[in-house]
Amino acid sequence: MKARTFYALAVLTACAIPLTAQEGAASQWSGSASASFGAAFDGDGYDESATFKNALVFEAGGGFSPSFRAEGGLSYRYGAASDLALAFDAGIAAAPDPQAIPPGTDLHGGLYVDQAYASAGAGAAWFRFGIVPTGSGAAWLYNPTSRIGAIALDRDPSAGGRGTPGLTASVSLPAGFSVEAGAFAAPRNANPVPDLGELNADGFPLSLRLQYRGSAADFSAAAVRERLSADSGARWWFGADAGFDALGASWYAEGAASAARVGEPRPEWSTALSPNGAVAETSCGFMYTLPLWNAEARAEYLWFSAGAGKPEEYDAAKLLSGSLPLLARSYLFASVEVADQAASRWTVVGGALGNITDGSVAFLGEVRFTVVDDFEVRFEGAYCGGKSGGEFNAPLFLGPGIEVRPWRTSLSLGMEAWF
């Protein structure tokens, strides 16, 4: 694993050298180092956790010349912060014998590359190729139309997002319109074993998007061919999103639909569209600046037709496979953020994600202090409560002896420095 990552970084650096050598081409490095320590609680006690992350961003070129951008780093997670530790503890996977692990391998974490791509073009047409970012959409917490990258709630909207090997091409059109198309070499969960048939054109993901960006409203319509894993079939999703300002608030709506497969949960009304019906996801919400303290308030509603209509129908396998970010059918999210308007030295954020189907709630909070320029201390917490037996406050059972808690009450103290 580490050897492959090292070779990938070496190749990316070699690709960047010609760009830095161009006359007048600017290049720069930036990055951050962070650490957090905390504990995750449940009915049986608590588990300690720790996370360490160093990130680097390299950018070269720009303007009318080709450019290059790479984002990656080193990340380690311990205790309750480790996804593998949680999987081993729950019985989802058997912990390997340390003696059987190749020397130098550490399953706590390692090197990663989020993005690494070149941009080139002329006039209205531009191309990106490499490990390309694929996120899109108008929604804040969850984007139904983003079917190429990993399905996840966007708990850190400032993050650049994971990239996917592939290429995209965009053309700017008159009157604020543009068209973007992409082809991607890897499915969401790529098979790590090379195979001669893995690039079959009938299966790898594709995207086509028409966008409009105006002064008062934005809109896009998309068709995306999704592939969940290397050994699964591809499917087409059709979606649209829109955003506009009205009544002093910023509003948005986004949705995607696909033909339902046999046995797949789907709304009754969708059978009017096709014999087997359709599956759909939608997200809509608004952002409003409150008069008091200029606080930023958000609210967002999420709906998944493939989600369960009652707790006893929850299918935790969908969560673990990445086919759904949440298990139920409908959710409501709300948050308020207050920041220091005078010196930008502190920020307080509080919010809640409620499961409308079962009545459970995850309350989230964060306090950030800028001690000195480019150095921040954070206090974060989550409380999972509400009606007992819900998604956010009860374990999910995958089988005999296999129990997992995707959400847990937690507290943590962290710090981060940028350079």
At residue 155, the pLDDT reads 52
- Would you place residue 190 in the very low, low, confident or very high pLDDT band (cuts 50, 70, 90)? low
For 228, other C-beta atoms within 10 Å of its C-beta total: 18
Count the helices and strands in the chain (H runs, E runs). Answer: 3, 20
CA dihedral 180, 186, 187, 188 (to 10 degrees): -90
Please say if the pLDDT value at position 26 is more than 80: no
In the numeric block, which tokens belong to residue 154? 């966007």
Which segment of 53-67, 170-184, 289-303, 364-378 scores lowest on mean pLDDT? 53-67
Please say if the pLDDT value at position 416 is more than 80: yes
Instruction: State mean pLDDT over 343-355.
Output: 94
Instruction: State mean pLDDT over 18-46.
Output: 78
At residue 11, the pLDDT reads 39
Per-residue pLDDT reduced to its tens digit, 192-223? 778 777 777 888 899 999 999 988 899 999 99
Per-residue pLDDT reduced to its tens digit, 247-263? 999 999 999 999 988 87
At residue 3, the pLDDT reads 45
At residue 231, the pLDDT reads 74
Instruction: State mean pLDDT over 66-79.
Output: 94
DSSP string of 231-260, one letter each residue: TS--EEEEEEEEEEEETTEEEEEEEEEEEP
In the numeric block, which tokens belong to residue 21? 């050598």
Instruction: State mean pLDDT over 347-356.
Output: 97
Percent of the chain beyond pLDDT 70? 92
Please say if the pLDDT value at position 367 is more than 80: yes
CA dihedral 71, 74, 77, 78 (to 10 degrees): -170
- Would you place residue 9 in the very low, low, confident or very high pLDDT band (cuts 50, 70, 90)? very low
Distances (CA, A) of 28 to 54, 59, 83, 112: 17, 5, 33, 20
At residue 351, the pLDDT reads 96
At residue 268, the pLDDT reads 77
Instruction: State mean pLDDT over 229-257.
Output: 91
Q: Within 13 Å of residue 389, how many CA atoms lie on the same side as its CB?
A: 7
Q: How far apart are CA 213 and CA 210, in angstroms?
A: 10
Instruction: State mean pLDDT over 360-367.
Output: 96
Share the mean pLDDT of the chain: 86
Tell me the residue type at 338.
Answer: V
Instruction: State mean pLDDT over 5-17.
Output: 41
